Amino acid sequence: MHIDRIPLWLLPLVVLAIAALWLAWRRGWLRLPLAERELVVVSKLLFIVGAIMVLVMLRNSIELPAGQFIYGRF
Amino acid sequence: MAASDPAPPAGVRWGRVVAALAVLALAAELAAQALIYAYAGKPFQSLSTYRWSAYGLVRNNPSLTSPGFEIERNGFRSVKAFTREKAPGTLRVILLGGSVLYSGLAGARLEEYGRVSSAETIAPYLEAMLAADPRFAGRPVEVINAAVNFNRIVEIASAYLEEYLHWQPDLVVVFGSVNNFYWYRRAGDLAAGHTALQMKHPFRLEFERQVNEHSLAAFLERAWRTGAEHSAALALASKASVALADRLVQVALRLAAPVTARPSSLDSAAAETGPETAGESRAYFQIYASYADAMVAAARRAGQDIAFVWEPALGNLDGLKPLSPGERSLLKSIESSPARSAQYETMRQAFHALFDTAGVPVIDPTEALRTTSETVFIDYVHYTPAGNRFVAALIHKELGERLAARLGR
C-alpha cells in the first residue's frame, strides 16, 4: 500500500524540521562544523539556486498560465 | 566549529562550505528517494510525464515513476509490454486518442474512484473481450493504448502516419473528438485563428521554449531539468517550484482580474457576438476532416481497418443519459448551455456524415448511454473503470464482426 500522492502535510513538516534545527543551533544544542559566517555563505548559495529555479518557472507560468487543460507540465 | 565557539576562524573555510553543501545534497537526495519510493512503490527514475517526439509532439514517458500511471517501454499506458514486431497470427488493435482513452483526470471529478489505473483503461477491457471471443480463439490478441493526454487530430494523425502505421495493426480506432470539438467557438474565432485546431498546442509552446530558445533562462531551465532526470531531490524541487510558480501566477491573475476584465471596445464586441455561423461550423469541420481523410487514406493503402469514436461530454447530453447520483453532482460543476450543446451536436452530425460517406465505421456511445444509469463519467468527459468497460463492450460489439471477417479473408 503506497501513499499515491505527495501528502500536503509534508511541506509544513519540512518547515518545522528546518525551524527546529535552526532553534537547536541557536541554543547551542546542535554543534555544526561551520562558523556563523560560513553558514551564511551556505544559506546564500542555497537561496540563490532556489531563487533562480523559481524565477525560471515563474517566467514559464506567466508565459503559459496553467489551466485545466495543461496535463502536467514538463 | 559551532556558532558558540569562542574563537571563530577569521576567513571562510571554503572546503567546509563545499563539504556542507555536499552533505546537504546527499541528505536531500536520500530523503527524496525514500519519499518517492513510499509514494510510488518503486525506485525513482523520472517525474516527467512526457518525452518530446518528432511527430505527434509528445509521447508518454516510460520512465515515469508513478503508482497510478504505468507506462511501458514504448510509451503506451499499459501494465503489459508490447513489441513492434508482430507475431504471426496476432490480432493487433491500436487505439489512438487523448485523455479519454488515456484515462487522465480533469480538475472536478468523483474522488471516490481515485485514479483509473493502467489496467482499467478501455484497451485492457477490449483486449480481454476479444481474447474471450470464440471468433478469435487461438489467436494472440493485442490491444494497444497509444493515447497521449490532450491529443487533437493534428497530433494523432502525425503520430499514426509516422509511427503506428508501421506497427501493422489490423484495426486502428481513433478517439479524441473532445479535444477537437469541445471548446465553444464564437463568430469570428475561425477567421482569427482562435479555435482548438488552429491554435498552437500548449506543449508546442513548451517545446519552443525548451528546445529552440537559446536565452540564459532557457539554458538554466534545461540544466535544471537534465539534473532532475538524474536526481530525485532535483526532480521534487522542480515539481515544487513549478507548482509554486503556477500558484503565484494564479493569485496574481486573480488580483489583476478587476483591471484586466474591464471591457475594452474590442472585448465587448467579442462578447456580443454569438456562436459561429453555419458556414464557419462547416469550415471548421473541414480542418478536422482533412486530417481524418489522410488517416483513412493511409490506413486503406496499408491494408488496415480504421474506425473513429465520438466522445460524448456529460454537460452536452441534455438529459439523454439517466444520471447516477455522482454524475448529477458532477453536472453542477460543469459549464454547459443549450448553445454549447447545439454546437457539439452539429459537430457530431458532421462527424457521422463524413465517415458514413467514406464507409468508415463510427462508434458513438451517445445512444447507448440512454440504457445505463451506471456511473460512466468520472468528470466532465473521462470515464470511470465501469465507463471504460462500457465503451470497450460497445467497440467489441460494433467492430467484432468486421474484424472476424477481415481475419477470415
- pLDDT tens across A21-32, in order? 889 988 988 888
End residue of a domain, out of B219, B249, B272: B272
Shortest CA distance from B242: residue in chain A: A57
pLDDT of residue A8: 75
Please judge whether A72 and B149 are an interchain contact, meaning their C-beta atoms are less than 8 angstroms apart. Answer: yes
Greater model confidence, A57 or B134: B134
**Which of left, alpha, beta for B41 (phi over 0: left; psi -120 to 50: alpha)?**
left
Q: Whole-structure pTM over 0.90, yes or no?
A: no
Least Cα distance to B155 among B77, B62, B74, B55 occurs for B55
Average pLDDT value for residue range B277-295: 97
Cell of B164: 503506428
**Which residues in chain B have their CB less than 8 angstroms from residue A26's CB?**
3
Is residue B270 predicted with pLDDT exceeding 80? no
Confidence of residue B259 (pLDDT cuts 50, 70, 90): confident
Confidence of residue B335 (pLDDT cuts 50, 70, 90): confident
Confidence of residue B274 (pLDDT cuts 50, 70, 90): confident
Q: Is the ipTM of this complex over 0.85?
A: no
pLDDT of residue B3: 47
- Determine, yes or no, domain membership for B17: no
Confidence of residue B353 (pLDDT cuts 50, 70, 90): very high
Is residue B46 predicted with pLDDT exceeding 80? yes
Average pLDDT value for residue range B1-9: 55
Q: What is the pLDDT of residues B167-197, one digit of tens each?
A: 999 999 999 899 999 999 999 999 999 999 9
Average pLDDT value for residue range B336-356: 94
pLDDT of residue B115: 83
Same domain assignment for residues B290 and B399:
yes
Q: What is the pLDDT of residues B147-175, one digit of tens each?
A: 999 899 999 999 999 999 999 999 999 99
Interface test with B, best of A57, A58, A59, A68 (most B CBs within 10 A): A57
Under 8 Å between Cβ of B377 and B384: yes
Confidence of residue A5 (pLDDT cuts 50, 70, 90): low
pLDDT of residue B294: 98
Domain boundaries, chain A: 10-63
- Determine, yes or no, domain membership for B3: no
Please judge whether B249 and A66 are an interchain contact, meaning their C-beta atoms are less than 8 angstroms apart. Answer: yes
Same domain assignment for residues B133 and B184:
yes
Same domain assignment for residues B234 and B135:
no
Confidence of residue B2 (pLDDT cuts 50, 70, 90): very low
Is residue B94 predicted with pLDDT exceeding 90? yes
Residues 104..163 of B with a Cβ closer than 8 Å to A: which?
Answer: 104, 106-107, 114-115, 149-150
pLDDT of residue A2: 52
Same domain assignment for residues B237 and B139:
no
pLDDT of residue B1: 44
Dist CA B132 CA B118 (whole Å): 20
- Determine, yes or no, domain membership for B399: yes
Residue numbers of the domain that contains B313: 50-199+276-408
Same domain assignment for residues B254 and B395:
no
Name residue, grid cell 481475419.
B407
- Determine, yes or no, domain membership for B32: no
Greater model confidence, A9 or A16: A16
Under 8 Å between Cβ of B90 and B142: yes
From residue B117, give the alpha-carbon distance in Å to each of A20, B77, B125, B179.
40, 9, 12, 22
Same domain assignment for residues B267 and B290:
no
- Determine, yes or no, domain membership for B188: yes
Same domain assignment for residues B223 and B336:
no
Same domain assignment for residues B135 and B247:
no
∠ Cα B344 B350 B355 (to 5°) = 130
Residues 2..21 of B with a Cβ closer than 8 Å to A: which?
Answer: 2-5, 8-9, 12-13, 16-17, 20-21
Under 8 Å between Cβ of B305 and B299: yes
pLDDT of residue B210: 84
- Determine, yes or no, domain membership for B43: no
Q: What's the mean pLDDT when you consider all of chain B?
A: 90
Confidence of residue B376 (pLDDT cuts 50, 70, 90): very high
Provide the 3-class DSSP secondary structure of residue B322. coil
Distance (Å) from the C-alpha of residue B48 to the closest C-alpha of chain A?
6
B209 part of contact set with chain A, CB < 8 Å:
yes
Q: What's the mean pLDDT when you consider all of chain A?
A: 81
Average pLDDT value for residue range B324-353: 91
- Determine, yes or no, domain membership for B360: yes
Same domain assignment for residues B257 and B169:
no
Distance (Å) from the C-alpha of residue B400 to the closest C-alpha of chain A?
33
End residue of a domain, out of B272, B289, B309: B272
Same domain assignment for residues B93 and B152:
yes
Same domain assignment for residues B267 and B293:
no
Confidence of residue B60 (pLDDT cuts 50, 70, 90): very high
Please judge whether B104 and A71 are an interchain contact, meaning their C-beta atoms are less than 8 angstroms apart. Answer: yes
Please judge whether B20 and A6 are an interchain contact, meaning their C-beta atoms are less than 8 angstroms apart. Answer: no
Shortest CA distance from B41: residue in chain A: A2
Dist CA B217 CA B224 (whole Å): 11
How many separate domains does chain B show? 2
Under 8 Å between Cβ of B92 and B86: yes
Q: Which CATH number belongs to the domain containing residue B292 in this structure?
A: 3.40.50.1110
Lowest pLDDT segment from B28-32, B243-247, B283-287, B394-398:
B243-247
Under 8 Å between Cβ of B321 and B372: yes
Burial of A9 (0-12, 13-18, 19+ CB in 10 A): exposed
Same domain assignment for residues B349 and B292:
yes
Confidence of residue B271 (pLDDT cuts 50, 70, 90): low
